[in-house]
Chains A and B, each alone.
Chain A
Amino acid sequence: ETGVTQTPRHLVMGMTNKKSLKCEQHLGHNAMYWYKQSAKKPLELMFVYSLEERVENNSVPSRFSPECPNSSHLFLHLHTLQPEDSALYLCASSLTGGDQPQHFGDGTRLSIL
């Protein structure tokens, strides 16, 4: 049990579908993050939320749309994705952000047909 729960664990979708990834943290943290992990590449930071406000959007295409309704929940809404978007999407959280260590969930493995 990591304290950061992601659902679904696996998702297969067509390029025209709309789906959402969900992340919930049970650690009392107030910063949350979305990362993309592709084979043979470093983890790429996509979005940062601190106290439910987006503080960073790391040049992510608009087909990815994050939502943070409260400090425990984070969503990533997906629409009209491309095959190159197939990857492991990881959620992380930390206490206050900044220099605090980040704790990760087990990710959603996304495959785009």
Chain B
Amino acid sequence: QKEVEQDPGPLSVPEGAIVSLNCTYSNSAFQYFMWYRQYSRKGPELLMYTYSSGNKEDGRFTAQVDKSSKYISLFIRDSQPSDSATYLCAMSLNTDKLIFGTGTRLQVFP
């Protein structure tokens, strides 16, 4: 079993839709959870960074962590074509080693 599971997509949605991206993980000791956005031919860009369980909101983005279910989500409200990218979840113990999902490709069409 992979440490982090993420549906590769592609996920195709119309502009304005609410997008839900998810990852599940197996190691209950993970404490730090991140979402990165990666545009084509670019490096991953940090979107959200959360510690332990709960919600964190930043503009149109909400990150949710449910440690009891070992499940994290990223919600994008009012999605825009510029949100079309690959979204990577990542998590770690209190170490330098980030464990990444394979990424979900999102396409938002006008």
- CB pair A102–B94 under 8 Å, yes or no, is no
Q: Report B58 CB to chain A, min CB distance, Å.
A: 13
Q: Report B26 CB to chain A, min CB distance, Å.
A: 14
Which residues from B are CB-within-8-Å of A33?
A: 96
Which residues from B are CB-within-8-Å of A105?
A: 43
Tell me the complex Cα distance, A82–B41, Å.
23
Stretch of A12-20, A43-51, A64-72, A73-81 contacting B (4+ beta carbons < 8 Å): A43-51
Question: Which of the residues B42, B88, B97 comes within 8 Å of A106, measured between beta carbons?
Answer: B42
Question: Which of the residues A2, A101, A106 comes within 8 Å of B34, measured between beta carbons?
Answer: A101
The answer to whether the Cβ of B81 comes within 8 Å of any Cβ in the partner chain is no
Task: Count residues of B near A (Cβ-Cβ below 8 Å).
Answer: 28
The answer to whether the Cβ of A21 comes within 8 Å of any Cβ in the partner chain is no
- Between A and B, 24 residue pairs with Cβ closer than 8 Å are A2-B43, A4-B43, A31-B96, A40-B8, A42-B100, A42-B103, A43-B44, A43-B88, A43-B100, A45-B96, A45-B97, A48-B97, A50-B96, A56-B97, A90-B44, A99-B92, A101-B34, A101-B49, A102-B46, A104-B43, A104-B44, A104-B45, A106-B43, A107-B43
Residues of A within 8 A of B (CB): 2, 4, 6, 31, 33, 40-43, 45, 48, 50, 55-56, 58, 90, 94, 97-99, 101-107
